[in-house]
Amino acid sequence: MGRIVMMVLRNIFLVPIMWFKLCYYAAHVEKYTEEQRYEMLRFIDHRAVKGGNVRIDVYGAENIPKENGFMFFPNHQGLFDVLAIMEACPTPFSVVFKKEVAKVPFLKEVFACMKAYMMDREDIRQSMKVIMSVTKEVQSGRNYLIFPEGTRSKNGNKIGEFKGGSFKAATKAKCPIIPVALVDSFKPFDTHSIRQAVVQVHFLKPMYYEDYKDMKTTEIAAIVHDQVQKTIDEHLAE
């Protein structure tokens, strides 16, 4: 909570302007290109990260495909995760988020600007519609992020099981799968300190369709899980 207050106070003169702009973009999404909306969100994100005394160390940015139509699959440590990845990634992407955060102020406007999809994990029919919609959008050249754990890890840098169903949109779209390892992304919001927090974002080598076309989604999930956990373990001491 203290760090969020610090983010606001250090941007006190910009907050009203940024809030107005965010709300306006969210209400008039079609007036702006995806690049324009993402640039606006990244500006707000950068100010929040800087104001909150957080440093983002980025690794493997060269693994982000030059051609659009790919999907990120990061581990999930908390609310700061998307902020960290957005700060690290210059290429626009959208997200699939759970319905529990659909009406949270600020997040609601951010998701609107991203044209993100809300998924109700208890509604199989609605979930399948989201998967099909994301598949079509990825095939058309949009990029997406899905947290394959389905919920945040309560054990910090020890990640949970990656669900095979999270990879269905990627396999149907036959798109590149980019594993993303987040290290210490829980610290900015989950610790009570306001000392500088360092979050690592690792973009791992993509899995292309030719690499996974003969695999089940559960097998893909296990491989991505192990790659992410291995990367986290290797960089914890840094």
Spatial separation of the C-alpha atoms in residues 98 and 149, rounded to whole Å: 12
Structure confidence at residue 156 (pLDDT): 87
Q: Centre a 10 Å sphere on the Cβ of residue 227 and count the other Cβ atoms it contains.
A: 18
Q: Domain residues for 84? A: 2-235
Q: 203 has which bridge partners?
A: 180
Structure confidence at residue 174 (pLDDT): 98
Structure confidence at residue 238 (pLDDT): 58
Structure confidence at residue 237 (pLDDT): 62
Structure confidence at residue 104 (pLDDT): 81
Count how many domains the chain has.
1
Tokens 């990634």 appear where?
89
Helix residue ranges, H only, the chain = 2-9, 15-27, 34-51, 80-88, 107-114, 124-139, 168-173, 187-190, 209-212, 217-235
- Which of 173, 197, 172 minimizes the C-alpha distance to 187? 197
Structure confidence at residue 203 (pLDDT): 98
Structure confidence at residue 95 (pLDDT): 96
Burial of 57 (0-12, 13-18, 19+ CB in 10 A): middle
Strand order in the sheet with 144-145: 54-59, 197-203, 177-183, 71-74, 144-145, 94-98, 117-119
Identify the CATH number of the domain in which residue 223 sits: 3.40.1130
Whether the full predicted model's pTM is greater than 0.85, yes or no, is: yes
Structure confidence at residue 102 (pLDDT): 77
Over the chain (238 residues), the average pLDDT of each successive run of 10 is 88 95 96 97 96 97 97 95 96 92 85 94 88 97 96 90 96 98 94 90 98 97 98 86
Spatial separation of the C-alpha atoms in residues 154 and 178, rounded to whole Å: 23
Tokens read off for 113: 């600007």
